[in-house]
Chains A and B, each alone.
Chain A
């Protein structure tokens, strides 16, 4: 094998290693062995950050907001007005759900930026990889969103009304309308998963090929911008789907 082939194999292996979902530990309970992956651990970290943040922020609220309170009030007000714009007066009920999705995805997608920089033989003592590179996570989000969509449809139209929506505008549209309930979660899952995974792979490639100088610059787009935009896109589409269901 030539040096070039060895190098290519090494890059491929390193990337495969980087994107692999590893089992952190296994829980044995009720006769079951439950593998806890590193993405679940990251999910718990994100949850802990958000819950801790919520407790700290709401502890001392000031009448004249300052600091983080300004951001939180802006975010909650924006989520309220955004959902109300799309869903009408029902929108405020869905603001916490959409807000939770946004906060989780933004935090999860930006968390890898906290990974210490390695290189020159120095290995960072911990690494945080984007958890949405795991299709289980994005699929879970998509299924939760579609569950909310279906329940909202049932809630505001009733069972008969829900069935009627399947044959709108014409009965011949029934297969396409049914297909929507498969296509929508699939597109939500694959868009988020594909974008984040692709950005992660590209960043890994850049870090391998040009380890100095370029990675921080490219991270601005592939980690920061892409992470934010995908969180926004997912939340926006979730809002649109729910709005369609309850209109």
Chain B
């Protein structure tokens, strides 16, 4: 227990061997692995930082483009609205003008029809009057002069009555 002997020297040799073996079998592979992994992680982090920078730049550009697009879209919508309103006003104005014209034409046509109906009625009434007068007078009153006089007489009656 307390006597020095060969165990002392054997232990020195054993520990020296163990040191070199552990350094080669445990320390070096583990250190190499850990350093490789650290380098890889560092590289990936750097890559991630670069990718993040690129992504942020792209995002910034995208947001700028989006803002521009939104502005353009708003302008287009406003322009379309303005154009639509102008078109609407024009269409309404045109429709109003057309309706006025149509109504005007209809009135003219109606007046014309009324006048023509009056004329036809006057002719018919004149003919009937002429026939009645011929029967009363006992002679034929069928000449063109007689008819014209009769019509003029009837028109005179209408004018007086109206």
Partner of B11, one of A43, A77, A96, A133: A43
Asked if A136 and B11 make an inter-chain contact with CB atoms under 8 angstroms apart, the answer reads yes
B11: min CB distance to chain A, Å: 4
A135 x B18 contact (CB < 8 A): no
Chain B 131-159: CB-based contact to A (< 8 A → 1; otherwise 0): 00000000000000000000000000000
Q: How far is the CA of A113 from the CA of B12 in the complex (A)?
A: 25
Give residues 11-49 of B contacting A (CB, 8 Å): 11-12, 14-19, 21-23, 25-27, 29-31, 33-34, 37, 40
A141 vs B40: C-alpha distance in the bound complex, in angstroms?
Answer: 39
Q: Nearest-CB distance from A98 to chain B (Å)? A: 10
Instruction: List A contacts of B30 (CB < 8 A).
Output: 57-58, 61, 72-73, 76
Interface hit among A5-13, A99-107, A209-217: A99-107
> In the docked arrangement, what's the CA distance between A205 and B34, Å?
47
Instruction: Give the chain A neighbours of B15 by CB distance below 8 A.
Output: 100, 104, 140-141, 144
B-chain residues with CB within 8 Å of residue A99 when the two chains form the complex: 22, 27
Q: How many residues of B contact A (CB 8 A)?
A: 30
- Give the distance in Å from the alpha carbon of A16 to the alpha carbon of B9 in the complex: 25
**CB pair B18 A50 closer than 8 Å:** yes
A144 with B18: CB separation less than 8 A: no
> B4 to A55, Cβ gap below 8 A?
no
Partner of B22, one of A63, A77, A103, A143: A103
Q: For residue A20, which residues in chain B have a CB less than 8 angstroms away from its CB?
A: 1
For chain A residues 123-141, which have a beta carbon within 8 Å of chain B? 133-137, 139-141
Q: Is the CB of B27 within 8 A of A76?
A: yes
**CB within 8 Å for A95 and B27 given contacts A133-B1, A134-B1:** yes
A37-73 interface bits toward B, Cβ cutoff 8 Å, 1 = contact, 0 = none: 1011001100100110011011001010000000011
Which one of B12, B18, B34 lies within 8 Å of A76 (CB-CB)? Answer: B34
Asked whether B17 lies within 8 Å of A137 as measured between CB atoms, the reply is no
Bound together, the chains give a CA A63 to CA B41 distance in angstroms of 10
Looking across the interface, which residue of chain B has its beta carbon closest to that of A55?
A: B25
27 A-B residue pairings within 8 Å (CB atoms): A19-B1, A21-B1, A35-B7, A40-B11, A43-B10, A43-B11, A47-B14, A47-B17, A50-B22, A51-B18, A51-B21, A54-B22, A54-B25, A54-B26, A57-B30, A58-B26, A61-B33, A96-B22, A97-B19, A104-B18, A133-B1, A135-B1, A135-B2, A136-B4, A136-B5, A137-B8, A140-B9
